Amino acid sequence: MPHTPTGEPDAAPADIAPVDVEPLVQLVSPTGERVVEPDNAGYRSRVDHLTSEDLRALYRDMVLTRRFDDEATALQRQGELALYAQGRGQEAAQVGSAYALAPQDYVFPSYREHGVLQARGVDPVDRLRLYRGQDHGGWDTEAHNVHLYTLVIGSHVLHATGYAMGIQRDGAVGTGDAARDAAVVTYFGDGATSQGDVSEALVFAAVNNAPVVFFLQNNQWAISEPTSRQSRAPLYQRGEGFGIPSVRVDGNDVLAVYAVTAEALERAHSGGGPTFIEAYTYRMGAHTTSDDPSRYRERAEEDYWARRDPIERVAALLRAEDGWDDDWAAGIDREADALGERLRTEVRQLGAPPTATMFEHVYATEHAQVQTERAWFEQYENETNETTGATR
Amino acid sequence: MSETLTFARAITEGLRSALESDPKVLVMGEDVGRNGGVFRVTDGLQKDFGEDRVVDTPLAESGIVGTAIGLALRGYRPVCEIQFDGFVFPAYDQITTQLAKMHYRSRGRLQVPVVIRIPYGGGIGAVEHHSESPEALFAHTPGLRVVSPSTPQDAYDMIRAAVASPDPVLFFEPKGRYWSKGEVAAGPYPTAQAAGGADVLNRARIARPGTDVTLVAYGPTVATALKAADTLGAEGTSAEVVDLRAISPLDVTAVAESVRRTGRCVVVHEAPTFLGSGAEVAARVSEECFYSLEAPVLRVGGFHAPYPVAKLEHEYLPSVDRVVDAVDRVLAH
């Protein structure tokens, strides 16, 4: 049975997803102690090289991701964003996995991977252009090796697999050159596992031995539907059915997530093919700002998982291992404050793009329908403006 | 230099030319490798270009198109084969929701030059789901180019332009014409920009000049319209046949120019006429040629019923007789 941060046993309320599922790769307990067991020795060795500086870097990105989340939620409440999908509670799964990536690796996110974008250096303002209704994308995918968010559930998992098949054809797998061998990590949720595209992606990746890591964040809820409405079997077993090595990891344990992702990437880089990771975590917030979780889940469950906050766990680990420093932590908080201030200022300044942009880039080469309708619309606008001016 | 090829072989040679000219070109689909495709359009290509470039895929259409999008994002130019028209729908979401919009939503940063070849249309006595004409469903989606050749020469030129084009192209192959023959001349392989703007992907052609009525057709019905024009010619009516080649973009200029001369227009396609591409042609002609029209624009095509059993398909498909009947009606005005 897991323990609370105060050391008391903490049973899961009835009818909710328990945290103590087995098997589960865990390297740090919810109370911040290293978990040392014979069967996690392989994973422990994958984090041996991480220093307290590395832990602090992980903590920093998780805190900044949390602040980004809170500020974006507030901006939506103030009418500055059309919508926002909160990532609260999934910071360890996202930041920990992204830390394992090599620069040349490529990410295909869903739409809630704010922590991955933080770790990959995507500008925080750019991350909100889509949610402000100002851009359908928002960032330069090639600059960060992060594809745009995909809103249709599961579609991008196939794109990730195809991209990985391209990496194979480029000869960038199994060369042994750490700066060359590349892989893809694609993020999706428990709801997405029911989509046919995800199963087809597993088929294509398996038969092609494609260098792709399927990173499932099981946050227990697909809007209002619990994972029990998506699957009868534990989700990590989904990969095994396709012949893909699979593992379930404590998604709120940033070191364990890092370790399993590093193992999967090593397999992909070396030509060993795909891996399926189920990061067992919890969506602490609403599905989006349009959602009200009180309609379908119990407060007791939210409280239960709140006591397993992934950021608190890293903080506890740092404290336990003398990596914590109050001045340093205060500096992170000031950095988070500055991030919030920047978002509040700059997101508000993101205005509507010029009207003509709705006709731009529909095609890469000229297309008669677009040209004709654009010409008509521009003339219509000009005439309307002239008429309006004349009546004034 | 030219040689006589079947329509199907013209596409094969077009694909071969693309594979030879651009190392990023891939051919992928069900049975396209060792088997050469169920219509043999990719026959011999895997032997010559290898399993990494001519790829037998799992039997999953959404997977084929979805992974093709990913390959395109990595810099490849995949040419996907959908085995039959009626099997494209599992991929409909990937095509319309993802493929069509990627360039737009990335503000032009990401190109997805994917070609989707679809043998389509009826007349070959096939079973259910093997004779459909879903082109209008795709032409309705901004971001996709939708084309259909009617001659071996166009099939060769258009597949090469489609593969070289930076935009996604739905390439509808009139399967009933696969065994027809014609002269095919080779030419230089087009650059991406030249291909996107190429006449064969953007401009209609006059398949037969005439003065009394304009017959608008594409793909399989160009042959039907030409036969109808022969029949009408014997009766003293001069019909002009316009082969659209592309449904998206629609060459309204060429159609309107013809109809202004003839004053009458009949559109012929195998797809159901209700909300089909002929409806768009009729609407555009009424806008552009209102004062030249001597009669309403008529459409000849499939009915608003699922494609019928093979034993009835010749009553369902637009026949020479039905085209001549429509011409008689527009001439009666």
Cα separation, B241 vs B72, whole angstroms? 37
Contact criterion met (CB < 8 Å) for B202 and A368: yes
Percent of chain B having pLDDT more than 70? 100
Our CA-based measurement puts residue B271 at a distance from the nearest CA of chain A, in whole angstroms, of 21
Taking the Cβ of residue A164 and every Cβ of chain B, the question of whether any pair is shorter than 8 Å is answered with: yes
- Sort out which chain A residues have CB atoms less than 8 A from B101's CB and list them: 136
Is the Cβ–Cβ distance between B95 and B170 less than 8 Å?
yes
- Sort out which chain B residues have CB atoms less than 8 A from A368's CB and list them: 202, 249-253
Q: Are strands A221-222 and A212-218 parallel, antiparallel or unpaired?
A: unpaired
Q: Are strands B246-248 and B145-147 parallel, antiparallel or unpaired?
A: antiparallel
CB-CB neighbours of B8 under 10 Å: 23
List the 200-259 stretch of A: residues with Cβ below 8 A of B: 200-201, 203-204, 207
- Interface test with chain A among B27, B57, B62, by most A beta carbons within 10 Å: B62
CB-CB neighbours of B155 under 10 Å: 32
> What is the side-by-side order of every strand in the sheet holding B169-174?
B54-56, B25-29, B77-81, B115-120, B169-174, B145-147, B246-248
3-state class (DSSP) for residue B172 = strand
* Residue A283 appears among annotated catalytic residues: yes
Contact criterion met (CB < 8 Å) for B94 and A158: yes
List the 317-356 stretch of A: residues with Cβ below 8 A of B: none
User: How confident is the model over B117-152, as pLDDT tens digits?
Assistant: 999 999 999 999 999 999 999 999 999 999 999 999
DSSP conformational letter for A22: S
Contact criterion met (CB < 8 Å) for A158 and B69: yes
Is residue A25 included in any domain, yes or no? no
Orientation angle between helical segments B252-262 and A368-391, nearest 10 degrees: 90
Q: Are A257 and A378 in a shared domain? A: no
Contact criterion met (CB < 8 Å) for A365 and B101: no
Q: Which two tokens stand for residue B312?
A: 């009835």
Element (H, E) at A208: helix A196-208
Q: What is the mean pLDDT of residues B271-298?
A: 98
Q: Are A318 and A192 in a shared domain? A: yes
The CATH number for A272's domain is 3.40.50.970
How would you class A48 by CB atoms within 10 Å of its CB: exposed for 0-12, middle for 13-18, buried for 19 or more?
exposed
User: How confident is the model over B70-118, as pLDDT tens digits?
Assistant: 999 999 999 999 999 999 999 999 999 999 999 999 999 999 999 999 9
Q: Given its phi and psi angles, is residue B207 left (phi above 0), alpha (psi -120 to 50 degrees) or beta?
A: alpha
What's the pLDDT at A225?
Answer: 96
What's the pLDDT at A5?
Answer: 46
In 3D space, the residue among B22, B11, B40 whose CA is nearest the CA of residue B156 turns out to be: B11
The tokens 């990959």 sit on which residue?
A: A120
- Sort out which chain A residues have CB atoms less than 8 A from B97's CB and list them: 152, 155
Q: Are A326 and A378 in a shared domain? A: no
Across the interface, which of B26, B73, B142 has its CB nearest the CB of A362? B142
Q: Domain count for chain A, please give it.
A: 2
CB-CB neighbours of A145 under 10 Å: 17
Q: Are A156 and A65 in a shared domain? A: yes
What's the pLDDT at A22?
Answer: 86
Q: Are A256 and A385 in a shared domain? A: no
Cα angle for residues B111, A346, A332 (degrees, 5° grid)? 100
Our CA-based measurement puts residue B112 at a distance from the nearest CA of chain A, in whole angstroms, of 9
User: How confident is the model over A201-259, as pLDDT tens digits?
Assistant: 999 999 999 999 999 999 999 999 999 999 999 999 999 999 999 999 999 999 999 99
- Reply yes or no on whether the pLDDT at B69 is more than 50: yes
Contact criterion met (CB < 8 Å) for B70 and A196: no
- Count of A-B CB contacts under 8 Å: 153
Contact criterion met (CB < 8 Å) for B104 and A136: yes
Is residue A17 included in any domain, yes or no? no
Cα angle for residues B18, B23, B26 (degrees, 5° grid)? 65
Contact criterion met (CB < 8 Å) for B70 and A164: yes
> What is the side-by-side order of every strand in the sheet holding A106-108?
A106-108, A184-189, A212-218, A275-280, A246-250
Q: Are A233 and A337 in a shared domain? A: yes
- Sort out which chain A residues have CB atoms less than 8 A from B110's CB and list them: 141, 148
In 3D space, the residue among A98, A121, A100 whose CA is nearest the CA of residue A50 turns out to be: A100
- Sort out which chain A residues have CB atoms less than 8 A from B70's CB and list them: 108, 158-166
Cα separation, A98 vs A114, whole angstroms? 11
User: Which residue among A147, A283, A308, A313 is the active-site one?
Assistant: A283
Name the pTM for this structure: 0.96
What's the pLDDT at A384?
Answer: 87
Mention every residue, 6+ apart, whose C-beta is less than 8 A from residue A211.
A164, A167, A168, A173, A181, A182, A183, A184, A268, A269, A271, A273, A274
Q: Which two tokens stand for residue A229?
A: 């409405």
Cα separation, A2 vs A16, whole angstroms? 15
Q: Write out the catalytic residue numbers of B.
A: 130
Q: Are A263 and A375 in a shared domain? A: no
Is the Cβ–Cβ distance between A85 and A112 less than 8 Å?
yes
Phi then psi dihedrals of residue A389, to 5 deg: -65, -40
Phi then psi dihedrals of residue B242, to 5 deg: -105, 120
Is residue A174 included in any domain, yes or no? yes
- Sort out which chain A residues have CB atoms less than 8 A from B71's CB and list them: 162-163, 165-166, 169
Cα separation, A148 vs A13, whole angstroms? 38
Cα separation, B12 vs B62, whole angstroms? 24
Cα separation, B145 vs A364, whole angstroms? 11
Q: Are A240 and A369 in a shared domain? A: no
Contact criterion met (CB < 8 Å) for A162 and B106: no
- Sort out which chain B residues have CB atoms less than 8 A from A362's CB and list them: 103-104, 142-143
Q: What is the mean pLDDT of residues B301-322?
A: 97
Across the interface, which of B26, B58, B250 has its CB nearest the CB of A204? B58
The tokens 């407060």 sit on which residue?
A: A299
Q: Given its phi and psi angles, is residue B190 left (phi above 0), alpha (psi -120 to 50 degrees) or beta?
A: beta
Contact criterion met (CB < 8 Å) for B66 and A372: no
Identify the domain containing residue A385 by its residue range: 355-391
Our CA-based measurement puts residue A131 at a distance from the nearest CA of chain B, in whole angstroms, of 13
Is residue A28 included in any domain, yes or no? no
Q: Are A252 and A378 in a shared domain? A: no
What's the pLDDT at A391?
Answer: 43
- Interface test with chain A among B96, B105, B191, by most A beta carbons within 10 Å: B105
Contact criterion met (CB < 8 Å) for A364 and B98: no
- Sort out which chain B residues have CB atoms less than 8 A from A369's CB and list them: 142, 248-250
Mean pLDDT of chain A, nearest integer: 94
Q: Are A235 and A134 in a shared domain? A: yes
The tokens 């609403």 sit on which residue?
A: A286
Which domains can be identified in chain B, with CATH numbers?
A: 2-201 (3.40.50.970), 205-331 (3.40.50.920)
pLDDT beneath 70, residues of chain A: 1-20, 388-392
What's the pLDDT at A1?
Answer: 43
Q: Are A307 and A173 in a shared domain? A: yes
User: Which residue among A238, A248, A287, A313 is the active-site one?
Assistant: A287
CB-CB neighbours of A196 under 10 Å: 14
Q: Which two tokens stand for residue B209?
A: 């000049």
Q: Are A144 and A284 in a shared domain? A: yes
Our CA-based measurement puts residue B270 at a distance from the nearest CA of chain A, in whole angstroms, of 23
What ipTM, to 2 d.p.?
0.97
Is the Cβ–Cβ distance between B218 and B242 less than 8 Å?
no
Is the Cβ–Cβ distance between B115 and B80 less than 8 Å?
yes
